[in-house]
Amino acid sequence: MTLKNFLLAAVLAASPAAFANALDDFLAFNAQAKTATAHFEQQVFDQRGKVVDRSSGTFAFARPGKFRWVYEKPVKQALVGDGAKLWIHDADLNQVTVKRIDKAMSATPAALLAGKDDITKVFLLTDAGEKDGLGWVVATPKEKDTGFESVRIGMKGKTLAAMELSDSLGGRTSLVFSDLKPNAALPPNTFTFTPPKGADVMDETK
């Protein structure tokens, strides 16, 4: 899923006018950052707003359609999109699930960062003003049955700083990004995945 030059001058951070163009800032980031790496902190909230899960890790993406999302704590799990397939590796179970990437991310939050399509074709984007020192954009999927209702995107200037996913059951997932490096140089094998020896592989692409 995490996803990082955040600091604006304090005087700008205090000014609502600084966040008047959060949508423009997000579209600029989306157009200009062809790759990126970041650390993320994730919290999952239930319908009553109680934190039910915390995790952290790293992510990288390269357009179109490639990403690596790695949960490092409290359990290890990797989601790797190589442009054609999505590989999901549960390290504790040594289990790998393989999905077609077009089915897995066509109108999902991953498509906001690494999607192949024009983002405005799959999401309705609206400026949501300023809150908690960030400018916010709401992305609502145009397709139904995506598993979530909307995604709030927090921008610090033209840098991605946070995302909040609201699901169809009333839950919410919050992601805060740090050390984000847009247009980072990435090793060629960043988006390749080879199942570990002895892994139980469930290939849903066949």
Query: Domain for residue 202, yes or no?
Result: no
Query: Domain for residue 8, yes or no?
Result: no
Per-residue confidence (pLDDT) for residue 13, from 0 to 100: 31
Query: Domain for residue 183, yes or no?
Result: yes
Q: pLDDT digit string (tens) for 40-49?
A: 999 999 999 9
Pair of tokens at residue 136: 């916010």
Mean pLDDT calculated for residue range 43-66: 92
> What is the distance of C-alpha 14 from the center of its chain?
27
Query: Domain for residue 4, yes or no?
Result: no
Q: Which residue has the higher pLDDT, 119 or 105?
A: 119
Q: Are 8 and 157 in contact (CB under 8 A)?
A: yes
Pair of tokens at residue 151: 């995604």
Query: Domain for residue 176, yes or no?
Result: yes
Query: Domain for residue 106, yes or no?
Result: yes
Range of the domain at 142: 19-196
pLDDT surpassing 70 at residue 148: yes
Query: Domain for residue 203, yes or no?
Result: no
pLDDT surpassing 90 at residue 102: no
Side-chain-side CA neighbours of residue 200 (13 Å): 6
Q: Which residue has the higher pLDDT, 150 or 109?
A: 150
Query: Domain for residue 13, yes or no?
Result: no
How many distinct structural domains can be found in the chain? 1
| Distance (Å, whole) CA 115 – CA 119 | 7
For 4-8, 46-50, 171-175, which range has the lowest pLDDT when averaged over its residues? 4-8
Here the CATH number for the domain that contains residue 148 is 2.50.20.10
Pair of tokens at residue 42: 């994730």
Task: Give the number of other Cβ atoms within 10 Å of residue 204's Cβ.
Answer: 12
